[in-house]
Structure 1
Amino acid sequence: MSQTTEGTTPAAAASGTATWTDPFRAHNFKLMIQGVTEGHFIECSGLDITIDVDEYREAGQSQVVHKVPTITRYGDVSLRYGLTNRDELWKWFEETVRGEIKRRNVTIVLLDAQGTQPVIQWNLRDALPVRWKGATLRATAREVAIEEIVLSYETLARGA
């Protein structure tokens, strides 16, 4: 089925129904810490929220199990990036290792297909680095050296 330039299929345009919107591409994103761009990463994973529930049966209604939401848990975010001489993330991690806890607000920004305009962002409030993994070094390797940092955070909000 072909699409018109406005994003509607010809059949939808003729009938006056909803327009089609292409999903965002996952390959253009960047990380901002306290509003400052810290770089572009090759992978971001672990953005998730889970709400735990307690189950109970009401007296006289044993066939019905009620579920009550309890604790909201936020998953740790793993960021993988090509090793460069920029060391802001390493310094932040080092401070945390020394006990100098500096929670920061972190924003992961998804960019449009051209990589120029933000389309969605995830705001991680009070984040801190909890894990660092160094690059695998191998004399016969031809690929880019990749480091990884894992951030834990208090809350997650999605915005545009």
Structure 2
Amino acid sequence: MEGDSRDLRIWPLQKFCFSLDIGDLQTSAFQEVTGLDVETEVIEYRDNNSRQFSTVKMPGISKVGNVTLKKGIFVKDNKFWEWFEQIEMKTIKRAPAVIKLLDEMGNSTMVWTLTNAFPVKITGTDLKSDGDAVAVETLEIAHEGITIQQG
């Protein structure tokens, strides 16, 4: 946007345009991604020679939650079920999952990379004879860490 005097950094990013790549799986468009969170446990202790009658808090082990993905069901698209079925054979393939938040031009503005992701739960669509909604399946993946980068 050359010549535009607006400073786009004062507006929050919009969240409806994103892409997702999981290893070498050819992924289709996803409707929703949730669970991009990290938290750190708090360790409380009291030093034995402390004059204060209270605990000191320190950061402990960090942990990440599972990420939930929702997507429409397409004809002959069983990639995620096939990936999930590998768990039974004890040969689950772990893969990096890269989630990119895109701007209006399709350029990535934020990138979340999940390390060693693998599926832990798949939920098929609900079926209703009186509805006209799109069939959506849910895939929950576990991972071993998350890194965040700017575009």
Identity of aligned residues (%): 29
Q: Which runs of 5+ in 1 are unaligned?
A: 9-18
**Which residue of structure 2 lines up, in the alignment, with residue 123 of structure 1?**
113
CA distance in 2 between partners of 1:97 and 1:46 (Å): 25
Q: Is the 8 A contact 2:84 2:92 kept in 1?
A: no
Larger Rg: 1
Amino acid aligned to 1:121: V
Amino acid aligned to 2:95: R
Structure having greater relative contact order (Cα 8 Å, sep ≥ 6): 2
Structure 2 counterparts to residues 14-93 of structure 1, below 5 A: 20-34=9-23, 38-59=27-48, 60-85=50-75, 86-93=77-84
CA distance in 1 between partners of 2:30 and 2:146 (Å): 19
Match of 2:41, SS state, is strand
Q: How many residues align?
A: 146
Stretch deviating more after TM superposition (49-58 or 121-130): 49-58
Q: Tell me the TM-score normalised to structure 1 length.
A: 0.82
CA RMSD of aligned residues (A): 2.0
**Which residue of structure 2 lines up, in the alignment, with residue 97 of structure 1?**
88
CA distance in 1 between partners of 2:122 and 2:97 (Å): 17
Q: Which runs of 5+ in 2 are unaligned?
A: none
Residue 92 and residue 35 in structure 1: after superposition, are their counterparts in 2 closer, same or farther (change >3 A)? closer
**Which residue of structure 1 lines up, in the alignment, with residue 147 of structure 2?**
157
CA distance in 2 between partners of 1:46 and 1:33 (Å): 16
Q: Is the 8 A contact 1:30 1:38 kept in 2?
A: no
Stretch deviating more after TM superposition (99-108 or 120-129): 99-108
CA distance in 1 between partners of 2:56 and 2:134 (Å): 51
Q: Is the 8 A contact 2:118 2:141 kept in 1?
A: yes
